[in-house]
Structure 1
Amino acid sequence: MATFYKEYEPARKAFLAFTDQIKQMTGQSLDVQLTSHEIIEGLFMDVLEIKPDKPQRLLCLTSGLHGIEGYAGNYVLQEFVDCFLPKLNLEDTHVILVHAINPYGMKYKRKSNENSVDLNRNFNASFDTLHSNEGFKTNASFFLPRKLKNPYLIENILFYIRTAKLYFTIPHEQFREAALLGQYEFPNGFYYGGDHMEKSTAILAQLYQKLVSFPYNKRLFIDLHTGYGPKYQMSIVNSPNEKRSVSELKKAFNYPLIQNANGDDFYQINGDMVNYINDFIQATDYATCFEFGTIGMSILDEIKSLRIMLEENSVHHMHRETDPIFKRIKKDFEQLYMPDEKKWLDKVITDFDQALKGILTHYKFI
């Protein structure tokens, strides 16, 4: 049974223990390799591989791209090892599990990394041709960090007033683009995509290039996230490159909530990792994101999520950890990306099981 850890060290310890667990579970002399990349001092991105002699298929699960979301990712990876790994044919299936892509963000419960870069805006082949996020730039005073001078409740009320003014001043799509697309001009602003590939990103990009060049018959990539979507329903979020219709995929995977990141169902972003993978893989392969919703889908839910993200960025850059408002907002941030409510955790496992079973069955991995 999976355990939901809330600190980086015990979560990593549980992941590292997979090596012995897998060998004991399978009773096979498998080639199980663990590679630990030290991203900053004492913090690691860990890559576990089960490598058959003659791999025909690839299954890659990644977690912690947005650091704080790695706790749910760790929880789900435990479920995968316990319940799905024994069902795979490990004689021809190459399995890769990546833990804590962004270990700094996981350790300190932030989405961005040690350089304040959002790694899911950092997968760009070039940083010279990205267009400016004009909505963010025009309204930078709203989006950039600021000192929170009032008590928590007053700051929240003022935020909703400021948001309402902005929301009804600019077109809705411009507001969403400003808030979600990613930006490359304000290093302290949220969703900052950086000006070069970060260490974690570069390591994964090299791995993906290697995996795409190897002649597998089939490749599956699944990235694990939390935050967006209905609170008690995981969304499968596909790249804009996905050609099949949502209704077709729902039937194929036997899963009720599938969305395409084309700006209609979901939202478009620059530097997205799944989009990056989709630019290289074959049409018969599949790369997607599992998004475990934590808050809801209404306009008020979206604004609440935006408030928490902006305020967390503000207290990180402008406040001391001992400030009362720092602790209160960090608590909100944890509930947004790593809630520990039993009902939510149970539904995470239920939805993960259903979605992964559907995908693995459809592609004949099980």
Structure 2
Amino acid sequence: MNEAQYFSSSYANARERYLQAAAAIQAPVERHVIPGYQGLEGEDLSTDVVRLGPGSARRLLVLTSGTHGVEGFCGSAAQIALLRDRSLHALLDQLDVAILVVHAINPYGFSHLSRTNEDNVDLNRNSIDFSGPLPLPVNPAYDDLHALLVPPSWPPSDKNARAIADYISQRGERAYQQALTIGQYRHADGMFFGGDRSVWSTRLLQRLFEQHGSACDSIGWIDFHTGLGPYGHGEKICVGQLGSDELRRARKWWGADVTSPLDGTSVAANVAGPVLDTLRRTCTHADTTAIAIEYGTVPLVDMLHMLRADAWLRRHPHAEKQYVDAIHDAVREAFYCNDDVWRGLILGQARVAILQAVTGLAREAARDA
């Protein structure tokens, strides 16, 4: 396999390859354009959707890429490889399972090489009922760190770097990760901001689930991510409640190594408002089984450092071009490893996970119509 043919150099290049792969199998494409925004190359920004398999299938697998923008290089490649996988397409007809391929659910972040969306919102913290009676989650540990995390200048001063290093030395990397990544809802210009409303991409996901999942009895979901864990290893993370049918099904489909942030077995923190909750709230009539696959890239502190740079750049959109380009390049390298071994690991593990999900869905008994 020539792994490089599936991976792209930019959002625009990834979208072009995705559309070419869809055209090669004559698959219709739904295009959903973000109004009022352009990409880094001046291009329109859209989430593009292809449905494969029988139109009447009542078992559906959803594949999403680019939830965290710049992480889209990985998920896009897995989706393009799937669109070109004729043997898997034949299996869908045989097993009566459909796949919904949602390319670049956060196209702004993908194009602008940022984790967050056009509103600086982390989509994986935004699936919350903002109109509900419950207060938004609070994260006092992040509040204490906010001023340090996004300093007035970049690179950070020696004093700032020492303060961050001291925090990690005293409390540990895990505590530092937890403070930053569980999400926060007070600092709109900060990191891991969950928003104050449901954003465009979250609302689009809800509409897609309503449109394609309303007649389904069982729905699976794989959301592709990068940045945490050992180099090239794809950890399968389920945020279903411990002891729930969802977690049981996830381990039945994908194996006993499916991890959970709720019991501390996952590299990821137990975040507020995970994007996978959108499916659970929208399709309450169906059995839902969702995982994120998290592929490792660089060490944790290095990855978080580049997200600090990303946040700084959001605060300073008119920074000198040399700083902008340097930060963009560094952020891309933190989430996409330009290495054939890494790329091969991504594609191999993605195909296995997709096949496991399809066969797992096929074993789920359809309900009486």
TM-score, normalized by the shorter chain, greater than 0.5: yes
What CA deviation, in whole Å up to 9, does each residue of 1:131-190 have, x standing for no partner? 221111122212235212xxx5xx486555222322355687654332001111111101
Alignment of 1:196-275 (within 5 A): 196-214=197-215, 216-241=216-241, 243=243, 252-253=252-253, 257-262=257-262, 264-266=264-266, 267-275=269-277
Q: Does 1:35 align with 2:41?
A: no
Return 5+ residue gaps in structure 1 as ranges. 24-31, 296-300
CA distance in 2, matches of 1:254, 1:177: 26
Offset at residue 208 of structure 1 (A): 2.2
CA distance in 2, matches of 1:341, 1:321: 30
Offset at residue 325 of structure 1 (A): 4.0
Offset at residue 105 of structure 1 (A): 0.9
Q: Which of 125, 128, 138 is residue 132 of structure 1 equivalent to? A: 138
Offset at residue 204 of structure 1 (A): 0.9
Q: Does 1:285 align with 2:276?
A: no
Aligned position for 1:86: 90
Q: Percent identity?
A: 22
Aligned position for 1:176: 177
Q: Does 1:115 align with 2:119?
A: yes
Greater Cα offset, 339-348 or 121-130: 121-130
Task: Check the 8 A contact 2:63/2:222 in 1, yes or no.
Answer: yes
CA distance in 2, matches of 1:190, 1:364: 40
Aligned position for 1:318: 316
Greater Cα offset, 225-234 or 10-19: 10-19
Offset at residue 319 of structure 1 (A): 6.2
Task: Check the 8 A contact 1:233/1:292 in 2, yes or no.
Answer: yes
The residue type equivalent to 1:136 in the other structure is Y
Q: What is the SS of the residue equivalent to 1:139? A: helix
Task: Check the 8 A contact 1:147/1:318 in 2, yes or no.
Answer: no
When residues 338 and 365 of structure 1 are mapped into structure 2, their CA distance, relative to the original with a 3 A threshold, is farther
Task: Check the 8 A contact 2:141/2:179 in 1, yes or no.
Answer: yes
When residues 225 and 156 of structure 1 are mapped into structure 2, their CA distance, relative to the original with a 3 A threshold, is farther
Greater Cα offset, 179-188 or 48-57: 48-57
When residues 246 and 202 of structure 1 are mapped into structure 2, their CA distance, relative to the original with a 3 A threshold, is closer
Q: What is the SS of the residue equivalent to 2:220? A: strand
Task: Check the 8 A contact 1:294/1:336 in 2, yes or no.
Answer: yes
Offset at residue 122 of structure 1 (A): 1.1
Kindly report the root-mean-square deviation, in angstroms, between the aligned alpha carbons of the 2 structures.
3.0
Offset at residue 130 of structure 1 (A): 1.2
Aligned position for 1:105: 109
What CA deviation, in whole Å up to 9, does each residue of 1:259-298 have, x standing for no partner? 1121612311112111332355568431111112112xxx
CA distance in 2, matches of 1:194, 1:43: 21
CA distance in 2, matches of 1:249, 1:220: 10
Q: Does 1:3 align with 2:6?
A: yes
